[in-house]
Amino acid sequence: MSPKTETRLTPGQRLSRGLKYTAVGPVDVTRGALALGLTGAQSSAAWVGDRYRQAGIKERLSADLATAQQAIAQELTAAQERVTQALQGTPPTRAERSRLRRRRLILVGVGVVAVAGGAVAFSIVRRSTQPEPSPLPPSVEVSPRP
C-alpha cells in the first residue's frame, strides 16, 4: 500500500491548466483568476499592514478601525430595516429601486460580455481546428455525368 498524496494546484497552475483543457477550462480559468486576484489582495493587505507597523501609525489605524466599525453598524441597521420592510411587505423607496435597477443592469452587462467572450473564444477554437482548404485542384473530376 502506498499512500497517495494529493498535491494542490497553485492559482497560476490552475489558470494555465484551465487554458490548456477545454472541457474543464472555464471552471479552472475562473477559479485560477479568482485565486490570483485573492492572492494579490492578500499580499497587498499584508504589505499595507507592514507599512502601518513600520511607520508606527497605530493611532491612525485604530481611528480607521473605529470608523469602519461605525460604518458597519450603520449598514447593519439599514439592512435590518430593509429586511423588516421586506417581511412587512412595504414597497422599497425610490433610491432602493434605482440602486436595484442599476445592479441588475450591471449584472446583465457582465453576463452579456461573458457570453460574447465565450462566443469569440468558441469561434477562435473552432476555426483553429478546421483544416485549411487545399490550394491544389481536385484529383477527381467533379462535374456530373449527363
Mean pLDDT in consecutive groups of 10 residues from the start of the chain, 146 residues: 70 78 65 84 86 70 84 86 75 75 89 90 80 75 70
Is 109 a domain residue? yes
Residue 133 inside a domain? The answer is no
The confidence score (pLDDT) of residue 39 equals 87
Domain count, the chain: 3
What is the DSSP-derived secondary structure letter of residue 136? S
Q: Is residue 124 part of a domain?
A: yes
Query: Is residue 34 domain-resident?
Result: yes
In a domain, 2, yes or no: no
Question: Are 16 and 51 in the same domain?
Answer: yes
Residues 64 and 86 in one domain: yes
Is the domain of 17 the same as that of 46? yes
Check residue 114 and give its pLDDT. 92
**In this structure, are residues 107 and 101 in contact, taking their beta carbons and an 8 Å threshold?**
no
pTM: 0.29
**For residue 109, what are the domain limits?**
94-128
CA distance linking residue 29 with residue 20, whole number of Å:
10
CA-to-CA separations, 53 to 48, 69, 102, in angstroms, rounded: 9, 21, 40
Kindly state whether residues 67 and 41 are assigned to the same domain: no
Q: Are residues 123 and 102 in the same domain?
A: yes
- Output the pLDDT for position 31: 78
